[in-house]
Structure 1
Amino acid sequence: MDFGPLLESLSRPVDIYCERASAAFDAEPLNAISNAAFLIAAYAAWNLRARRPDDSHSAAIKALCILIGIVGIGSFVFHTIATKWAEWVDVIPILVFMIFYCWMILTVFFEWPAWLKAAACALLFASTFYLEAEEFAPVLWGGAMYLPSLFFMVAAGAGIWMRNAAAGRAFYAAAAVFVVSFTARTLDMPLCNDIPIGVHYFWHLFNATVLYLLVRTLILHAPVRSVAASTPGSGSNSVPSGSPRSSSAATDAGIGFPLFPQN
């Protein structure tokens, strides 16, 4: 089998951002350096998780924090190497984060069965991957692939809000920042004549904030599922499965404000 055409395709240079004026490694300094925001977001989310009263989702949240860092590394590779294979190094971690986060939201806040979560995540993956195709590259300057995520955030946010207003507000805060982030990404090329360095780096800064806020929503607002509650002889002080955190638990953990409104 001849892999020549495939390797040639993967090595093809990609020039889709205003800041890049050559094929040099450092042709996009702001777009490359701004990816440090993802590492900062990953570190901040990791530290916040360490102060979480409930540890039932600890492993999944740690994985999300690590994925945020990988997103930044993948994006740095793309904005320096700028080839087709580097573009996939950029896109794949974002897609993995989106799918895994979708699974976690449907698990933590909606308690959907596994088959229904799998179907929803498959739909999100398929629609995103479909819109990543070359024929959709002119749509929103390659940003069409993020429309399914925006739709998911709007729909899921409404459901979360109906279950808990504080969690809904936190989730929609992330969605609002994502709209700003997506706008910056979309306007990079249209504003190129007026702003030669472009505005794509704002996409990185705001998007890192989005990922932090999404993970923060899970850390601070996920209903408690205490192992002790299901353990025989654990006593009446155990927290029932699915119950919200109390403000005192949040304060004891050093967070300093109630995570759920008290009824």
Structure 2
Amino acid sequence: MASAVKVMFRFKKLDLYCERLDSSFWAEPINAFTNLFIFLAGVYGLSESRKLPSKSEVRQIKICSYLAMATGIGSFLFHTFANSLTMWLDILPITLFQIFSINFFLQFVLLTPLVARLIFLTLFVALSLHLKSEAYVEYFNGSLMYAPSLVTLFVLGAITWLKKMKGVSICLYASVLIFTVSITARSYDLEICEHFPLGTHFIWHSLNGLLIILLLKAMIIHTKAELNFAKD
């Protein structure tokens, strides 16, 4: 364990957020602590999914829940060790969560064929990574990379509303609202640093915990509706 910690400290240090004033482990206590909300969102999804019978939808909900928990842990490590290694421990779980959650709605809610899902998800990841590149980092503090996710959630909300899946749609539209606010908080973290030393990145973490709960709730609502339909 001690050797693993030593390895963590060998990678290039990063200073990307307002709250961090030095390279010490607890230089971002609020940013680090608020990852608990993301982790607990995953715990919620796992707890609720275990109440449902085993089927493909439930297995995917569990995967998304585990990925949410991994996101909370990875982000905690990034905001404590803050280096080029832990940055990827932060990025990979949340990217996988986005892929698996979007795939859930495409596969089980919209009944999208496999090839169409693969094409969409490939384009989604490619565009997100493109917007994360150096050319776009200066815009909105690098938050443009989340624009494809925001647009996708909005479209999914509209489609499910038209399909009379109101419970799912309400959760998705609520997630769009929460996500818009959290992206705004992430975008202006450095902008307001002079006036508010804590920055606003902790709001991003806190609201994303709620966002993940809403997405998992939408999945659970749909799955329960399918199970009730099968019983009838």
Provide the TM-score with structure 2 as the length reference. Answer: 0.89
**Structure with the bigger percentage of helix:** 2
Unaligned residue ranges in structure 2 (runs of 5+): 1-9
1:64 to partner: Cα distance: 0.7
State the partner residue of 2:191. Answer: 190
1:39 aligns with 2:35: no
State the partner residue of 1:20. Answer: 20
State the partner residue of 1:63. Answer: 63
State the partner residue of 2:6. Answer: none
Counterparts of 2:52 and 2:207, CA distance in 1:
24
Q: Give the CA RMSD over aligned residues.
A: 1.9
State the partner residue of 1:179. Answer: 180
State the partner residue of 2:111. Answer: 111
State the partner residue of 1:212. Answer: 213
Distance change >3 Å, CA 225–CA 112, structure 1 → 2: farther
- Contact residue 54 and residue 225 of structure 1 kept, 8 A: no
Counterparts of 2:53 and 2:192, CA distance in 1:
46
State the partner residue of 1:169. Answer: 170
Counterparts of 1:65 and 1:82, CA distance in 2:
24
1:127 aligns with 2:127: yes
1:136 to partner: Cα distance: 1.6
Counterparts of 2:127 and 2:54, CA distance in 1:
34
How many equivalent residue pairs?
Answer: 221
- Contact residue 143 and residue 186 of structure 2 kept, 8 A: yes
- Contact residue 78 and residue 86 of structure 1 kept, 8 A: yes
Give the counterpart letter for 1:224 in structure 2: E
Distance change >3 Å, CA 56–CA 84, structure 1 → 2: closer
Bigger RCO of structures 1 and 2 (CA < 8 A, at least 6 apart) = 2
1:139 to partner: Cα distance: 1.2
1:51 to partner: Cα distance: 3.4
Counterparts of 2:71 and 2:92, CA distance in 1:
8
Counterparts of 1:166 and 1:132, CA distance in 2:
33
Q: For structure 1, which segment, 197-206 or 160-169, has the greater mean C-alpha deviation from structure 2 after superposition?
A: 160-169
State the partner residue of 1:90. Answer: 90
Among residues 220, 223, 226, which one is paired with 1:224 in the alignment?
A: 226
Distance change >3 Å, CA 86–CA 56, structure 1 → 2: closer
1:81 to partner: Cα distance: 1.1
SS of the residue aligned with 1:115?
helix
Unaligned residue ranges in structure 1 (runs of 5+): 1-9, 230-237, 240-263
Counterparts of 1:46 and 1:69, CA distance in 2:
10
Q: Indicate the structure (1 or 2) with the bigger Cα radius of gyration.
A: 1
% identical equivalent positions: 32
- Contact residue 30 and residue 202 of structure 2 kept, 8 A: yes
Taking the TM superposition and a 5 Å limit, the aligned residue runs for 1:138-157 are 138-157=138-157
Taking the TM superposition and a 5 Å limit, the aligned residue runs for 1:230-245 are 238-239=231-232
Provide the TM-score with structure 1 as the length reference. Answer: 0.79
Counterparts of 2:131 and 2:11, CA distance in 1:
22
1:48 to partner: Cα distance: 2.0
- Contact residue 39 and residue 69 of structure 2 kept, 8 A: yes
Q: For structure 1, which segment, 46-55 or 203-212, has the greater mean C-alpha deviation from structure 2 after superposition?
A: 46-55
